[in-house]
Amino acid sequence: MADVDELPSMLWGLDTVFSAYSKLYIIDILEMGESRQVPGVYFYKTHPVSQVDVLGTVVCKREREDFYCYGVDDSTGVINCLCWKDEKWRDQGEPATCRNSSVASGGFNIEDELRRLKETQRKSSVLEIGDLLRVRGAVKTSRGQREIKASCFYKVDDPLMAVQISRMLEMPQLYRKWYDKPFQVPGDELGAKEASGSTNFQILVSRSVVTLQEFLSEKGVARFRPYDVEFLLHPLVQNAVTDQESDQPGPSFPSQIRNVLKETLGLLQEDGKIFRKIRTQDEVYNVTEQDKDLHTVIKNILREDTKREKYAEKGCHILHLLSSIRQHYSQNISREALQAALTFLECNSDIISTTEAHYTIL
């Protein structure tokens, strides 16, 4: 990135990508240009990046006294990951008396179980070539080569490739929604009027989202049309219009209502709080947590599919559920809406999650 294109460092904190572990392809991590203002910070297009999240296969390994150096390949490139050994794994003594006492008594020995847990944790940090490794850490350049200094790393057990497939589906969405979009500075140092108007609109939309969510929850609304809830926004927009300067031109009251409602419904859809079962000119939105038919379909799928040997142990993956629900209930349901429904059912003790992405019926 040229100097003229590099954002001033005082504005980096306004970019959400900068404060997160960016899930970038390794080829992009290797090709990012380093900032001329702050060493150790890199730019992917207009976004400052200092920390990344990588998932890939170990293709080479070097061990030193204090650390492992793994070469990780995600099929786009290979990067070295410096993974420091944990002091607590060194010189672990395991007295035979504690181990034997558990066996002799035939009961539960908390020290023995804790030791087994630590051993399992230790094994997850020692990988061999061919293992799947997930690394989070800071990007560094050492001796002219780009590498990752891990703050967290572990072996991923993924015999069915569910984690890798989920990652493959997630990455393009992150690039489209965040990384490939240019970072827009909210306003200049003096605070432009356009930025101020945009900020006021976003605040209004945020209040609208909260108001609509509270109404849907309190009234137990299962489905609605936009004009059914439009009246909820009238006081919010009216207060916003009153707070504006009298000589400041702006859209009419009905136009503001439509704009705020459209943005509010869009945000609720992105979060999976609502969805449209059937896309017609008559906009009907289903409320995810109140859609009893959706909940019944999810439980029926889990009840039937977990009887199969393939899903008996871990349950059904969320992508399997999404495919089944799109076939049996609605083609328009999003993964976010399904996740919201699964979370609601789990909170009500109707289902249980066996892993981060697998569910089974109780």
Q: What is the pLDDT of residue 48?
A: 94
Residues 248 and 307 placed together within one structural domain of the fold: no
If you count them, how many residues does the chain have?
A: 362
DSSP secondary structure letters along 273-328 = SEE-SS--SS--EEEGGG-HHHHHHHHHHHHHHTTSHHHHTT-EEHHHHHHHHHHH
Q: What is the pLDDT of residue 206?
A: 82
Residues 153 and 24 placed together within one structural domain of the fold: yes
| pLDDT greater at residue 11 or residue 148 | 148
* Final residue in a domain of this structure, among 287, 302, 329: 287
Whether 143 maps to a domain, the answer reads yes
CA distances from 9 to 14, 18, 39, 133 (A): 10, 11, 11, 32
**How does pLDDT run across 139-164, given as a tens digit for each residue?**
999 888 999 999 999 899 999 999 99
Is the pLDDT at 264 greater than 60, yes or no?
yes
* Final residue in a domain of this structure, among 238, 259, 287: 287
Report the number of distinct structural domains present in the chain: 4
Reduced to 3 states (helix: H, G, I; strand: E, B; else coil), residue 90 is coil
Whether 187 maps to a domain, the answer reads no
Name the percent of the chain lying above pLDDT 90. Answer: 46
Q: Sorting pLDDT into bands at 50, 70 and 90, what band is 101?
A: very low
Residues 164 and 65 placed together within one structural domain of the fold: yes
Residues 325 and 258 placed together within one structural domain of the fold: no
**How does pLDDT run across 171-203, given as a tens digit for each residue?**
999 999 899 988 876 654 434 444 445 567 777
Residue 106 domain boundaries: 91-119
Whether 53 maps to a domain, the answer reads yes
Phi and psi (nearest 5°) for 318? Answer: -60, -30
48 CB-contact burial (10 Å; exposed 0-12 / middle 13-18 / buried 19+): buried
Q: Sorting pLDDT into bands at 50, 70 and 90, what band is 98?
A: very low
Mean pLDDT of 349-362: 88
Whether 314 maps to a domain, the answer reads yes
**How does pLDDT run across 122-145, given as a tens digit for each residue?**
777 789 999 999 999 999 998 889
Residues 45 and 75 placed together within one structural domain of the fold: yes
Is the pLDDT at 250 greater than 70, yes or no?
no
CA distances from 167 to 21, 23, 25, 152, 187 (A): 14, 9, 11, 18, 35
Residues 322 and 340 placed together within one structural domain of the fold: yes
d(CA 120, CA 134): 16
Residues 136 and 51 placed together within one structural domain of the fold: yes
Write out the two tokens for 284.
């009907």
Residues 207 and 153 placed together within one structural domain of the fold: no
Q: What is the pLDDT of residue 198?
A: 58
Residues 202 and 109 placed together within one structural domain of the fold: no
Question: Highest mean pLDDT: which of 96-100, 159-163, 241-245?
Answer: 159-163
* Final residue in a domain of this structure, among 287, 306, 328: 287
